[in-house]
Every structure is written in structure tokens, then in C-alpha cells.
Structure 1
Amino acid sequence: MKWKTAIKDYTFYLKIERGLSDNSVQGYIRDITKLEKYLEENSITTTPLVITDEILQQFIYEASKNLKATSLARLISGIKNFFSYLVFEDLRKDNPAELLESPKTGRKLPDVLSIEEIDMLIAAIDLSSPEGQRNKAILETLYGCGLRVSELITLKISDLFFDEGFIKVTGKGNKDRFVPIANTTMKYINIYVQEIRCHLNIDPQFSDNVFLNRRGKQLTRAMIFTIIKQLSEKIGLQKKISPHTFRHSFATHLLQNGANLIAIQQMLGHSSITTTEIYMHLDRQHLSEVMQNFHPRKH
């Protein structure tokens, strides 16, 4: 089996059988493509079915010279998953990557914006332009509902259940969840949809998407990053932020105000509570107050 064939079959497996999103699939395939490129550049003739652990060890050693610990750990994880798939499909009897050791990366705490910083970013939007009204609705939705950027750009009008106070969000692995939406967020989405979006020449393919570019097509992830970067520069914010920062801030502010961690997990669409628990480390003052308020031996 050649690398091209194996990668093609693996792509199909990740999409169809694992049900992963396009972004997740691309990440896994990128790892295997790096390995394939390394073999080609070093004139190493081998296939996915006979490659040895020694070759993989050398590949990871060379990659470690140019990658940060987190990126290297991600690469090793991707390589292990690929060979686990080959074993699962009975194409190999062993996983030559199982002895690869991932570097210790620690757990990086996400950057979080204060409520004041979020207010400043939103206030910096130029509302005199149609895009300004849209961008305000976008930031209010990112922060108000804790969405991933991929969930935001694919959000559908048919998934807005404003009368019930919820929106339906399609998350990782095409899993749907219902997220509560505040009156403020609903108000700005309605302003955009009823006063701006209705005047666009909308591409029929994206007629159900809430947020569109000026040509009536779906926004890209890169465009959302650009909007936030420009606003950040405009107010002189010293933090390095992205659309995901609003999601982190959403979760952190809920926790600080006493929200239940299980409820936050459900709203974020985390499959494991362990992923959500990272927010417990963000505000030690909050944890101290919880102890003082709820522990039976607080006095």
C-alpha cells in the first residue's frame, strides 16, 4: 500500500466512520503528510505497512528541532492515531509509533478578556457601516453563547429559536447542542438580520446562514480572526486574542459568577468534563470564595 492510497483511505475513515469535522480531518492528514514528505526528502523507500519504529523515531527527532513541545506532541499523537487505524483495519499487526514519547507540555491556560475589555472591543466597532452592525452581532454571539468560530460561521437562521431562548449549534463531530441565548445577543442578531442582511444579494447556497460577507456568501474563519485582530489593535489591547478568546471568556465569567461546571460543559459542547475543568484554574480567588461559602468547616 502506497502512502497516497493509505492517506486517502484514512481520510475517508476519519470523515465517514469517525464523523470528524473537516478541520479535524485536515489536522490528522497534515501529520501523515509531514511524515511522507520527510521520507521523500531523505530518499527513504518504505510504505505504511512496513515502516519501522526506528524510522519513525528518526523522523520525530528531526521534527523536534523545529517544533515547539505542543506542536511536537500533536504530531506524535497524529502519527500514533494513523498507525492505530492501520492495526484496526488489520493492515498491520503492530503499531510502530506506540513507543514514541510525547514531550511534557504542561497545560497552557487560555487568555481571557475582562468584561471591560470585551466592552471596549465592541464599542470600537464602526456602526456606520453595514459590516459594523454585522461585526457587533458576531462578537456579541461569540461571547454571549461561547461558540467556536466554526460554529459561528455555519450558524443557521433555522437554528435560531428565539421564542424559546435557545440556538441550536452544530459542534465537533456534527454533534448538535442547544445553547441558551441572552436577550442582548438576540437583539443584535435581529438588528443585523432585519436591517442589514435582508439587503444583501444572497448566494442561494448560503441562504440559511446567519452571518454573511458583503457578497452574500459564508464568512471564513480567517475573516473572523481579521475582524478581531483589527479591533484589538484599534484599542491598543496588549493581549494576543482570537475568536476562541471570547469562548474562554464566556466560560470563565460564567464560572466566576457561580455557574455549575456541568452546565458550562454542556453549553460549550465539551465531550469530557476534563476539558472544561481547565477553567477552574483561571480564578483562584473564586475558588477561595467557594471554599469559604460552602465548606462545612469554613469557620
Structure 2
Amino acid sequence: MTEQTATNETLGTTPPQPKGFASKPSQTETRLAELKAENKPAFVGYMPYGFPTPDTTLDAFRTLVDNGVDMVEIGLPYSDPVMDGPVIQQACSMAIRSGEHLAGVFDAVETVAKAGGVPLIMGYWNLIFHYGVLKFARDFANAGGAGLVTADLIPDEAGEWIEASDRYGLDRIFLASPESTDERLRIVARNTRGFVYASARMGVTGERSELDQTPERLVERTRQAGAKNVCVGIGVSTPEQGAEIGKYADGVIVGSALVHAVLDDPSYTKLASVTSGLAEGIHGARR
């Protein structure tokens, strides 16, 4: 251990940034700051890439941004999505059968960026690891990407991703749950760049008829642990639920309700309607 490293560890400070690392500002934090200035929570919408087909999927992402989504989580379909509910599992299976591939997801990133949204990618770490972590970070940044939501990667095991994301100026969005200890929340907050993804409840994703009472407390605890921004997801399916969470969270994440709209109507007419309704509820939460 060098003297400088020992000093940094003793003081709890970040070592000097190595040459060649990006110093560009966080796209995610910039958009959240803009919305905070208007007293609005962010609307974060999820849609799997390649769904319902690789040929039509880009229209889905444009529809989300055109109807009020501020940040788009572009899902990487996975053959064993253990953290996803039945609606998203069905959509991912359709995308895989239709021939989606990871390299094509950067077209979706470019589409979201050109439409005016903040492009995020959400996926299981195994896919990114096999693609190549530095290669993924480079290709993602070159496409205009903002950050990665790592559903199954914890900060303790994310050294390679932390280095790659720093190198290319990408945000790191880690998850917190109601069962997270205060120490775990501090670790998540310290290593996150962009926002902490607060799971409203334990379990898989999916629409809920009612939300439990833990999200507000989790947001409070995560902020006390040092998080600058906290967005809440898992379970939001109506404008009323979005408005309820938007009163205290920095952003509201919606996935299954949007995917469900495409399953019901592949023309995207229903997707546009559902998205605009959710946007109105979420953005108007603090009026």
C-alpha cells in the first residue's frame, strides 16, 4: 500500500482521478435537478429492448418519451429473469424469440437520446460481463447512454463496473430494499451515481392493486444514508399510485404497466394513452 493510498483510506476520500477518465456531468442527476427546480418528480419508464420485435421496438421507446417519460430504462432481455414478474418475463421471451441481441440495444439508446429522454439500461450482470465490461461501457457511452441499473450486482462486487463507468462517465444505479440495513444503504449511497433505485417491496416486479407503506420510510432512510436522489419502483401501475409516491420520491419507476399496454395493443395507441396518464399523475404529484 502506498503512502497516498493509505492517506486516502484513512481520510475516507476518493483517490485522484486517473488520467483518461471522463469528468462529464451525470445526465441523470442533471435531469433530476431540472425537474426538482419545477417541483416535479421524474417519470422513469421501463421497456425491454426487442419487444415486441426488434423491427418495432424503437417506436415503443419514442412513444414513451413523446408521452412524458423523462428517463427510459431499456431492459436487456434475459432467459432467466428471476427478479421480474410474469408480464416482463413474457415480453422478454417474445424479444428473445424475435432475435434481439445485445449489440442492437445501443440503437435504442440513441433513439431515446435523440427523442429527448435520458437513456438508461437495466439488465442482469451476466449479459454485460460476457459482452465485455469495458466494451459495453464504451459502446453505451458512444451511443449517448447515461447509466446502468444493475439488478443483481451489489457495490461490493462491482469493482470492474465502477472503474469502467468512471472511465466513460456513466451513472451507476444500485438497488436498495426495505430489508437493507443502514450500513448496506450507506454502501449503496456511497457507490451510486445518478440515483438509488428503491424497491417498494421485496419480491419480483409487477403491477399491484395496492402499495404497502414501506417505500416512504425506505426513501427517508436512503437519504439519511447519504443518497442524493432516490427513485421508487416495483408495483406502480396507475396515475394515482404514481402521484402517491411522487410526493416524496425523486422519481417514480414504472415497468409492467407499460409493457402490459403493448401486450394488449401492439400498435402503441394504448401505450401512448397509459404513458401520458401516468406522466400527468406523476408530474402533478406535488401540486
Asked if these proteins are the same fold (TM beyond 0.5), I'd say no
Q: Return the structure number with greater relative CO, CA threshold 8 A, min gap 6.
A: 2
Question: Whose helix fraction is larger, Structure 1's or Structure 2's?
Answer: 1
